[in-house]
Structure 1
């Protein structure tokens, strides 16, 4: 009780503005000392005093927790200001004022920083997948992964990643990406009640024949969707019967029933026109192809 009484009397004595409060001696790392100090005759600076309410605040040497707590409890506006000042203090300023020296890396951490990722690690898989997506999305040649410029770029982005060769992407990474994308699309097509298709025969620069098939449908949000299902190598004779069977096989490979196909759009080739009629499918003429033919005939005149 006597201790509490002495403290109360001291607090009452400090209410006088004539009592001088001085700042903390030496360098201070905390913004809290803007609001606290010591009596002038307290040479050892043992008893901390609040400059606002002029009360003694108990605190351990070097510990400012109670000082912040005092501001929060009795002077909330000043506490908010102290928190803002504390947040604005940059780490570099704090380190410079405290004289802290950056820690030297350990031998283990130094070796870890230069050790290549294991092929099965998550980081390695994520980067490989990103490269695969880049090759597929932008239709880049597989030789890209063996070019010096691209390999240097990847090494700068992450020095611990080892880029696989083109054989890995052609035999493993890209087929995996294809199967994943195909699985997602097949999943979406299960909910499609009716659809239309577009097909065309074309040849590559090396004169290899391909048969493409694209599906068009309206999704659950009434958005028109178009997806190229496949561009398949088609070395067989391009007779109406073979084309008809090829189109039916293509639909079946995607789990699509021909009964749900409302129409198919083709050019005016005699073989493809007959192939569609053999299946009794509703056929629409390709507007772009018809327009091209019309412009070609006009140019003659």
Structure 2
């Protein structure tokens, strides 16, 4: 009976078996890894998300890069199990967390007795200069603020005081300020003594 059933079978089985022999069957591990994404709270997911966050922040990339199909394909090629968080996650969670950590690190560095600052008129930036415990000269740009008010000496003086206060830098330890020598900047420095 078996022989008669086999005789009735179409002859395509030979081509099917040859196709099967040329293609490699994946292992169970490969199959599992290709369909099972990392849990969002897993260490590996957090590492990749942190690396993408730093890429966005340090290279000044738009947050929309995480929705770019070429970028997501690149990330997927490197790790098929990683699922990209939403754009909202990066803008409202990941980047603010990175900023908070960076600000805490810089604030800890600024625990110094005396400091000097540099500022300019166009962006009302504030850079602090100080000498650390190892007698190394350091500089940190603390802010580059949008300044919609009139650029009067009084307004600039207030903005500079607010900038120092937001970093807990006491004005009495501020030994000098370097500006672009515009009359309103000179007036701001005089107002703040």
Q: TM-score category by the smaller chain?
A: 0.7 to 0.9
Identify the residue that residue 118 of structure 2 maps to in structure 1.
198
Identify the residue that residue 51 of structure 2 maps to in structure 1.
130
Cα distance in 1, alignment partners of residues 78 and 105 from structure 2: 30
Cα distance in 2, alignment partners of residues 136 and 189 from structure 1: 22
Cα distance in 1, alignment partners of residues 144 and 42 from structure 2: 34
Identify the residue that residue 103 of structure 2 maps to in structure 1.
182
Instruction: Go from structure 1 to structure 2 and tell me whether the alpha carbon gap of 1:218 and 1:138 turns closer, same or farther (over 3 Å shift).
Output: same
Cα distance in 2, alignment partners of residues 144 and 224 from structure 1: 37
Please tell me whether the aligned partners of residues 126 and 142 of structure 2 are also in contact (alpha carbons under 8 angstroms): yes
Pick from 13, 19, 38 the counterpart of residue 117 of structure 1. Answer: 38
Identify the residue that residue 84 of structure 1 maps to in structure 2.
none
CA deviation profile, 1:115-148 (whole Å, cap 9, x unmatched): 1112221111111111111111111122222222
Cα distance in 1, alignment partners of residues 75 and 83 from structure 2: 9
Identify the residue that residue 146 of structure 2 maps to in structure 1.
233
> Which contiguous aligned blocks of 4+ residues in structure 1 show a shift greater than 3 angstroms?
none
TM-score under structure 2 length normalisation? 0.80
Q: Which runs of 5+ in 2 are unaligned?
A: 1-25
Pick from 77, 87, 103 the counterpart of residue 156 of structure 1. Answer: 77
TM-score under structure 1 length normalisation? 0.53
1:110 CA displacement: 3.2
Secondary structure in structure 1 of the residue aligned to 2:133: coil
Cα distance in 2, alignment partners of residues 113 and 224 from structure 1: 51
CA deviation profile, 1:187-228 (whole Å, cap 9, x unmatched): 1212x11111111232xxxxxxx4211111111122111111
1:249 CA displacement: 0.9
CA deviation profile, 1:51-79 (whole Å, cap 9, x unmatched): xxxxxxxxxxxxxxxxxxxxxxxxxxxxx
From the CA coordinates, give the structure whose radius of gyration is larger: 1
CA deviation profile, 1:153-188 (whole Å, cap 9, x unmatched): 111111111112322211111111000100111112
Secondary structure in structure 2 of the residue aligned to 1:233: coil
2:175 maps to 1:262: yes
Please tell me whether the aligned partners of residues 64 and 87 of structure 2 are also in contact (alpha carbons under 8 angstroms): yes
Cα distance in 2, alignment partners of residues 132 and 253 from structure 1: 25
Cα distance in 2, alignment partners of residues 149 and 109 from structure 1: 24
Cα distance in 1, alignment partners of residues 90 and 58 from structure 2: 14
Cα distance in 2, alignment partners of residues 120 and 149 from structure 1: 25
Cα distance in 2, alignment partners of residues 136 and 112 from structure 1: 30
Cα distance in 2, alignment partners of residues 112 and 133 from structure 1: 26
CA deviation profile, 1:204-262 (whole Å, cap 9, x unmatched): xxxxxx42111111111221111111122222222111110110111011010111111
2:64 maps to 1:143: yes
